[in-house]
Amino acid sequence: MRIVILDSADEVAAYGAEIFIRCIRQKPAAVLGLATGSTPLALYRRLIDANRDAVVSFAKVSSFNLDEYLGLAGDHPQSYRHFMNTHLFDHIDINPDNTHVPPGDAADPLQACADYDKLITKLGGIDIQLLGIGRNGHIGFNEPSSGLQSRTRVKTLTRATIDDNARFFSTQEFQPHLSITMGIGTILEARKVVLLATGAAKAGAIKAAAEGPLTASCPASALQMHPDALLIVDAAAAAGLERKAFYKHIERENQKLLQSLGKT
């Protein structure tokens, strides 16, 4: 697991966006795993700018989102499909038919979960998976106690998540209590995983994910088993890490090696 510690959230977004741009330029038909929440927004804005400036094209790219609320159709303003259209897909040259979000309005959600994993496999697997992280170490909607080899499935939202979301729904309106989420096993099959975290609220989760034990109590700790996992964090989210100086030393040595090989 590589850990890159940067000074600000803006630098985290820039570093992460550059990794995605490089991946797509190397493989124009790349299969991206995408995330929602507030953390990815600045990265998505940079991808939109790069597409506008013809630095990168999404014309052959496919994407799979981590999760969706069960019971919300894609046109519901609180659905993750609506979130992705609003904050990324409507502003880049990706073919909407190549963007996949778990179907929150599936007639048979259990079959839809199995079909989602099959489609990922059919498209050759995910080349690079973007993740955020919840304060309790969740990734996607894999809450603590999630199986570390789980597949895409229906999961129950925590009371904290339901309460956090309540402000987006009127009292008479249906509010989701369940989600469809890529499983941790599904996430670990991505060839590269890039997790972004910023702000002091994520410091405990980042410490547990990077320096804690491999445990279902911190789903993000499963990334310790991944062959190519990268955590990009700002100073506030890194505040709990004990080996910060060593992680920074590793990155300096990595850069020297890449420069010596002419690969920067």
Instruction: Name the residue type at position 195.
Output: L
Closer residue to ligand GLP (CB): 141 or 247: 141
Nearer to ligand GLP, 38 or 95 (CB): 38
- Distance, in Å, from the CA atom of 174 to the CA atom of 104, rounded to the nearest integer, reads 13
Which residue lies nearer to ligand GLP by CB, 8 or 259?
A: 8
Strand pairing of 128-131 and 99-100? Answer: unpaired
Select from 20, 84, 92, 37 the least CA-distant residue to 59. Answer: 92
Q: Is 163 a catalytic residue?
A: no
Rounded to the nearest 5 degrees, what angle is found at the Cα of 97, between the Cα atoms of 92 and 103?
110
Least Å distance, CB 111 to ligand GLP, is: 22
Instruction: Decide if 143 is catalytic.
Output: yes
Q: Spell out the long-range contacts of 221-224 with Cβ–Cβ below 8 A and sequence spacing 24 or more.
A: 221/137, 222/139, 222/148, 222/184, 222/187, 222/188, 223/1, 223/188, 223/193, 223/195, 224/1
Q: Which is nearer to ligand GLP, 38 or 217 (CB)?
A: 38
Least spacing, CB of residue 28 vs ligand GLP, in Å: 26
Of the listed 65, 138, 142, 226, which one is catalytic? 138
The question of whether 67 is a catalytic residue gets the answer: yes
Positions touching ligand GLP (CB under 6 A) are 35-39, 66-67, 132-134, 138, 140-141
Pick the closer one to ligand GLP by CB: 76 or 138: 138
Could you tell me the sign of the dihedral formed by the alpha carbons of 35, 120, 112, 139, in that order? negative
Shortest reach from residue 39's CB to ligand GLP, in Å? 3
Burial category of 159 from C-beta neighbours within 10 Å (exposed 0-12, middle 13-18, buried 19 and up): exposed
Is 136 known to be catalytic? yes
Selected catalytic residue, list 11, 85, 115, 136: 136
State the catalytic residue, choosing from 68, 117, 127, 143: 143
CB of 235 to ligand GLP, least distance (A): 17
End-to-end Cα separation, the chain, in angstroms: 20
Catalytic option among 67, 68, 189, 234? 67
Where do runs of H (alpha helix) occur along the chain?
9-26, 41-52, 80-87, 109-122, 159-165, 184-188, 203-211, 244-260
Nearest distance from C-beta of residue 263 to ligand GLP, angstroms: 31
The residue assigned the tokens 């004990």 is 242
Residues annotated as catalytic (active site), given as ranges: 67, 136, 138, 143
